[in-house]
Homo-oligomer: A and B are copies of this chain.
Amino acid sequence: MAQKPSIPKGTRDFSPAEVAKRNYIFSIIKSNFEKFGFQPIETPSFENSETLMGKYGEEGDRLIFKILDSGDYQKSIKGHVDDYVEFDNQLRDSIGILMKDIDDSFGVEIRTSDNIELTCFEFGKRRDVVNKFDESIDYCLNYFTNNSTKLLQETIRLFRTEIIEIVVHTLYYIDSQSDAELMKYKIAEGYFPMFYKLAFDITFNPLKLSKLISEKALRYDLTVPFARYVVQHQNEIEFPFKRYQIQPVWRADRPQKGRFREFFQCDADVVGSNSLWQEVELVQLYDSVFSQLGLNGVTIKINNRKILSGIAEVIGASDKLIDFTVALDKLDKIGEDGVKKEMLEKGISEEAIVKVQPLFNFTGSITEKIAKLADLLASSEEGMKGVEELTFICENVAELGLQTANLDLDVTLARGLNYYTGAIFEVAAPKGVAMGSIGGGGRYDDLTGIFGLKNMSGVGISFGLDRIALVIEELQLFPETVTATSKALFLNFGDAEAKYAMKAISQLRKNGIKVEMYPDNAKIGKQFQHADKRGIPFAVVVGEDEMKNNVYALKNLATGEQQKLSIELLIEKLK
């Protein structure tokens, strides 16, 4: 027996019940995205490598799944081997002709003379021969550089100088034993190993290899493909463009609990408007989705990159900003003294710590917190711009009201420090649920600059589907109907009965009711068991008696209650 098959680590199969639960979350997110005016786009699963590489830092580049060029690549390799043999033959031929030219011009005795210096000197005098030789080599190399496969081209490009050098060397420094055969051999000795070395170099250097044999890579997130989409389709898009995208992404991360190599991202972004009303609406969007999911009491944490820049100014060390926020974030756990100790250890001056003292007692309402920040950052122009933005967003959110979520200002929130330029968001699950952030986002002033379209501000949020699903599962918030299967199973007592059942089934389905028939005339117990295991609530029993009276016996499998019904009443009952 064959080995039981498996799937790659970090990936998942989803059973019908799991798909149903995920779709439930997707559909609520999707309908809210649309209610808020976002429109769906979809981008290809793989992008050109140059679209993705270099966009996520060195670590990201490493974690991007690269796709081997296929089909064409395999052909090009076959083509390459042919090219390579042809290259070899041509070079040998050219050198053979040159040998004859040299012999004709100088006589064999010069070429095979013991006096190498003399030979070179004589050769060097004959510019025409030297030129002819150069031409001949150049012809070969150019021919193959232009007509051969990517791999041979690369070989020639990399080793052009060396190839010429070997040929020249061999021709000029002829030793006394040399003849045409030996020379050819030497050239072969010279450049064959070079090809080998190149191949070795390529094989053992993943970056070179992947460049030569991979031009595509799997999507790593939805933001970069979105930026690419906006730039590529800029003339068809009506800005401001509110798009949402729900698609899988792939990362070659080490798999661990709750972290997968394939997972869905659900992003909503607006591009082409600086209006802070977007931030207000995104907070409302979070609130609307989580409220509809029954996930009441999430905390939407907000911060602003400009606030962080202001703090960096105040502590006088922008390179210490992460150390500062990481330490400050531990206030609850290690207390004020612990935090200060850590800050000092990280090289933040005592003086700086004194300046930011208000952050150690950063409590109260958002309004009070903002007032404290305004005091603290009074000297920083950028910091005060951040205070202004925060004020607008928080005041409007408060005035318009949230359904079940809480908005909180968290100055330790420093996600996406490298790209966010304004608001920063993160959503924490309701208190009591041990789970990292279930959503995040922010504003980046230059979303599409990487693809050459300047001055396009973007702001967006993302929902962490897998974690949201885990939280909903833990809190038992999935409605029972989510995993609903067929409404009724028609039992199968043979072809005549089955045909009679199928007539009712057709009718029921036309009325939009999910029903099915047990396909085989199996033992009745087995059929009931099937309904039970599948979680189907009703069975319809059709025997001779029912057929004679033109009725259907509907059995409630939970209560055991059974009723004989006309087709009309059956439809009514199962609707």
Interface residues of A (CB under 8 A from B): 1-8, 11-16, 19-20, 23, 31, 34-37, 39-48, 51, 62-68, 70-74, 77, 80-81, 151, 193, 195-197, 199-206, 209-210, 213-216, 218, 228-229, 231-233, 236, 238, 240, 242-243, 248, 250, 252-254, 262, 270, 273-275, 277-278, 280-281, 284, 288, 396, 399-401, 450-452, 485-486, 492, 498-499, 502-503, 506, 509, 512-520, 530, 533-534
Contacts and interface: CB of A to CB of B under 8 A. Distances in A.
B71 A233 contact: no
Given A72-B252, A73-B206, 7 more contacts: A7-B228, A8-B48, A16-B40, A23-B40, A45-B250, A46-B250, A396-B502
Closest 5 CB pairs of A and B: A37-B516, A2-B452, A11-B44, A196-B196, A275-B519
A215 B70 CA distance: 14
Given A46-B11, A498-B277, A35 B513 contact: yes
Contacts of A81: 204
Contacts of A238: 530, 533-534
Contacts of A399: 499
Copies of this chain, count: 2
A472 to B, nearest CB: 18
Contacts of A517: 277, 281
Contacts of A36: 509, 514, 516
A90 B221 CA distance: 45
Max chain B Cβ within 10 angstroms of own Cβ: one of A36, A201, A278: A36
Main secondary structure of the interface of A (DSSP, over half): mixed
A44 to B, nearest CB: 3
Contacts of A204: 77, 80-81, 151, 199
A514 B31 CA distance: 9
Max chain B Cβ within 10 angstroms of own Cβ: one of A151, A193, A514: A514
Contact of A39 (B16, B215, B248): B16
A4 B206 contact: no
Contacts of A515: 35, 37
A516 B218 CA distance: 34
